Structure 1
Amino acid sequence: MPPRWPRQPDRKDPEYRRLDDRMNFAIHVGIYLMINSGLWFVSGIKNVHWPWETGFTLSWLAIVLLHLLYIAAIADYSPKSDS
């Protein structure tokens, strides 16, 4: 069941921003897992090792971890004033 928001969604709402950032992170992780597991699966089935696959996976993992660091520690979800 999809999440339901009890009021009109607005990026100025700190709770909505937090939920939106976490859902975007979950999508990022899902795409990372889908593409990299497919890449390594094909690599294993064909019994080949592409020279770029390890670097690609580790680089993208670093980006995912930076995304996690941002939403967990850096993002400011305090209420924004309209002034």
Structure 2
Amino acid sequence: MPLRWYGPADPNNATYRHFNRVVNFCLHAGGFAAVNSGLWFVQEMRHPWSHLDLWTEAWLGVLIVHLLVVIRLRPGKDADTDTDTNER
């Protein structure tokens, strides 16, 4: 099931910002998987690249740091009530 945002796109909402960070992380992880699997496939088929393992490890390190940032910046449990209750 795809991720969806059912509220208004309000950049001041902490939950919306967290959702935006999660989607960006998912795109980053998908790009990592697609590019690295393609590079490893090409290497196994015809062209050996001696630094491909270093490239993959470095990108994986950046991906892990990105995940830690997403986890660190997640909103608290009361983030949903900061703007929604005042508008109604």
Which band: TM-score by shorter chain?
A: 0.7 to 0.9
Give CA deviations for 1:8-58 in whole Å, capped at 9, x if unaligned: 201110111111110100000000000000000000111x42122111100
TM-score under structure 2 length normalisation:
0.76
- The 2-side partners of 1:12 and 1:38 are apart by 39
Counterpart Cα distance in 2 of 1:63 and 1:45: 27
RMSD: 2.0
Q: 1:6 — aligned with what? A: 6
Q: Choose between structure 1 and 2: higher helix proportion.
A: 2
Counterpart residue number, 2:61: 62
Q: Distance in 1 between matches of 2:64 and 2:6?
A: 31
Counterpart code for 2:75: Y
Equivalent pair of 2:14/2:75 in contact (CA under 8 Å): yes
Over 3 Å counting, the alpha-carbon distance change for 1:27 and 1:65 in structure 2 is: same
